[in-house]
Amino acid sequence: MASYAAVLSYGLVLAMFCSALAVRASAGRLGEGVARISVGASALTLVLALALFGWRLGHGGAELYGIGLGLFTLYVDPLSTLMAVLVSAIGLVVHVYSVRYMQDDPAYVRFFALLDTIIGVILLMVLAGDLLTLLLGWHLLGVCLYFLLNHDTRRRAANRFAFWTLFTHRVGDLPLLAAVALVYHGYGTLSIPALFDAIAAGPDKATALGLPLNEALGLLILFAAFAKSAQFPLHTWLPYTMDGPTPVSALMHAGIVNAGGFLMNRFAPVFVETHAVLLIAFAVGLVTTLMGSLMMLMQSDIKKALGYSTMGQMGYMVMECGLGAFSLAIYHLIAHGVFKATLFLGSGSIIGKARKDPNIPEGEIYKFMVERKVPHPPLSWVVFAGITITVPLVIVFGAHQLIDQGFLHHQGALILLLFGWITGAQTLFFVYKIGGERPFTVLFYVVLSFAAVILTYVVVGHAFDALLYPDPAFREALYRAASVSSTTFALVLVLLMVLISAGWLLVFRTEAERQPLPRRFRHLYYDLYALLSREFYVADLYSRTGERLLAASRKLNALLRWA
Partner 1 sequence: MGWILALPLFLLAGFCLPLFPLSIAVNRFVQRQPAGAGDRFAQPRGKALVLLGLPLVGVLLVQAGHWLAGDGGGWLIDVFALWGGLTSLLYAFRLLSARDGQIWIGQLYTSALALVWVGAAHDVPPLLPALGLAASLLPLWFLLDGLTCRFGIARTGLYPGLSLRMPRFSTLFVAAVLAAVAVPFSPGFFAVANLAFGGAASNELLTLVPLSLAWLLWTWAGINLLTGIVFGEPRGDLDYADVDRRTMLVHGGGLAALALFGLILVEGML
Residues that bind partner 1 (CB under 8 A): 69-71, 132, 135-136, 139-140, 143, 146-147, 150, 153-154, 156, 159, 163, 166-167, 170-171, 174, 177-178, 180-182, 184-185, 190, 207-209, 549-550, 552-554, 556-557, 560, 562-563
Q: Are 278 and 250 in contact (CB under 8 A)?
A: no
User: How far is residue 406's CA from residue 61's CA, in Å, rounded to a whole number?
Assistant: 25
Nearer to partner 1, 2 or 206 (CB): 206
Query: Which stretches of 188-325 are DSSP H helices?
Result: 192-201, 213-228, 237-240, 246-254, 259-266, 268-272, 277-297, 302-322
**Got the DSSP string for 413-465?**
HHHHHHHHHHHHHHHHHHHHHH--S-HHHHHHHHHHHHHHHHHHHHHHHHHHH
Nearer to partner 1, 90 or 213 (CB): 213
Alpha carbons within 13 A on the beta-carbon side of 84: 37
Task: Say if residue 233 is preceded by a cis peptide, omega within 30 of 0.
Answer: yes
Picking from 204, 214, 346, the residue whose alpha carbon sits closest to that of residue 276 is 214
User: How far is residue 409's CA from residue 460's CA, in Å, rounded to a whole number?
Assistant: 19
CB of 185 to partner 1, least distance (A): 4
CB of 130 to partner 1, least distance (A): 9
CB of 2 to partner 1, least distance (A): 23
Nearer to partner 1, 183 or 263 (CB): 183
Q: Are 258 and 317 in contact (CB under 8 A)?
A: yes
One-letter amino acid at 209 equals L
Nearer to partner 1, 1 or 563 (CB): 563
Nearer to partner 1, 150 or 313 (CB): 150
DSSP state of 471: -
CB of 110 to partner 1, least distance (A): 9
**Got the DSSP string for 509-521?**
HHHHTT--HHHHT
CB of 357 to partner 1, least distance (A): 35
CB of 4 to partner 1, least distance (A): 27
Nearer to partner 1, 1 or 559 (CB): 559
Nearer to partner 1, 217 or 328 (CB): 217
Nearer to partner 1, 97 or 138 (CB): 138
CB of 392 to partner 1, least distance (A): 45
User: How far is residue 426's CA from residue 516's CA, in Å, rounded to a whole number?
Assistant: 16
DSSP state of 212: B
CB of 104 to partner 1, least distance (A): 16
Nearer to partner 1, 237 or 450 (CB): 237
Cα 181-182-187 angle, rounded to 5 deg: 110
Q: At how many degrees (to 10) do helices 108-127 and 2-25 cross?
A: 160
